[in-house]
Amino acid sequence: MKPVFAVPRRALGGTRLQVSVLGFGTAPLGDLYVQLDDGTAIDTVKRAFELGINLLDTSPLYGNGLAEHRCGAAIRRVPRQDIVVCTKVGRWTDPFRGRGDRSGFVGGLPHQAVVDYSYDGTMRSVEQSLLRLGVDRLDLLLIYDVDVWTHGVDAIDERFREAMTGAYVALDRLRAEGVVAGIGIGVNEAEMCVRFAQAGSFDTMLLAGRYSLLEQPALTKFLPLAQQQGIGVLLGGVFNSGILATGAVSGAKYNYRDAPPEILARVARIESICDAHGVALPTAALHFALGHPAVASVVLGGQSPQEVERNVAALSCDVPAVLWADLKAERLLAAEAPVPLPVAG
């Protein structure tokens, strides 16, 4: 497979994997908020591969398995060794129940996602994912959504215990057997990344929304710990669920809700500095996220081939160093945040 544009690649932690600095997130392929036809969904994944993206991030949660099915159709069109397939555990799908809570997925398969971090539940989830994807091995497996955002304060300690005594043991075994090249977690909170990193041996962690141009809570503890332990960091939610892509417009979303006035005001100030340097806000957000040395890849979703093309094109845009200096001078960016280097550098 010869990509049209060679997206740069970075080593993922201590694994043997080299991942593109831009990964493709497949939540939209599970009919997140909008229903897609199969042709468009599969063409979007194919376009990502053609443009040099080799990291495919999916989950049984996305459309209750629909995203994995669509990914499987796209995967069969390229050499398996050319791509890095990442999926998640913590839920398996029950075909004998209704859809239940769709979590924003308006379409998807008529199956229900069952939260289960046990050893047996994890193995069941992995087996189902292998069948849906049509592969005999996976590259990365992540324990998914063990965070307060998903389960609440009262349940998080028990969920963490379940994950470490069940899912982690299962994934550690699969790693030792060579079924998977690396294991990790995927969560919405930097604090949970620290907690897991201190409790087990993980190769990678996918953190959503906690290290972005808007806010950097992961900068204090988690990212230095990841560097110390050799954990390859994948970042999701670098647009904070929308506002860093749309700007401070009416109805802009921040963490999946309408952005409050103080967030709108802060983003407007950030955007004005970006505009002064001729850089689009989402381009600055993408480049900033790739600037930390612990970060291997930023995972962005897409609903169409054109959307993937725009994301890849943003990688080649120049972002002047003075932009970051101006943001820090205005206290809109943490003073200790690493200044991004050119992506290909």
Alpha carbon distance 289, 279 (integer Å): 15
How many other C-beta atoms can be found within 10 angstroms of the C-beta atom of residue 307?
16
Categorize the per-residue pLDDT at 343 as very low, low, confident or very high, splitting at 50, 70 and 90.
very low
What are the b/e assignments for 184-213, b being 16+ CB within 10 Å? Answer: bbbbbbbbbbbbbbeebebbbbbbbbbbbb
Are 184 and 201 contacting, i.e. CB atoms less than 8 angstroms apart? no
Residue 342 has pLDDT above 70, yes or no: no
Residues labelled as active-site residues = 57, 62, 88
pTM: 0.94
Categorize the per-residue pLDDT at 1 as very low, low, confident or very high, splitting at 50, 70 and 90.
very low
Are 59 and 105 contacting, i.e. CB atoms less than 8 angstroms apart? no
- What value does the mean pLDDT take over residues 190-194? 98
Categorize the per-residue pLDDT at 340 as very low, low, confident or very high, splitting at 50, 70 and 90.
confident
Cα 55 off chain centre by: 10
Q: Dig out the tokens for 30 from the structure.
A: 């599970």
Judge residue 179's burial from the number of C-beta atoms within 10 Å of its C-beta, 0-12 exposed, 13-18 middle, 19 or more buried: middle
How many other C-beta atoms can be found within 10 angstroms of the C-beta atom of residue 37?
8
Q: Each residue of 139-172: pLDDT tens digit? A: 999 999 999 999 999 999 999 999 999 999 999 9
Q: Each residue of 232-279: pLDDT tens digit? A: 999 999 999 899 999 999 999 998 889 999 999 999 999 999 999 999
Cα 186 off chain centre by: 8
Residue 6 has pLDDT above 80, yes or no: no
Judge residue 158's burial from the number of C-beta atoms within 10 Å of its C-beta, 0-12 exposed, 13-18 middle, 19 or more buried: exposed
Alpha carbon distance 122, 216 (integer Å): 32
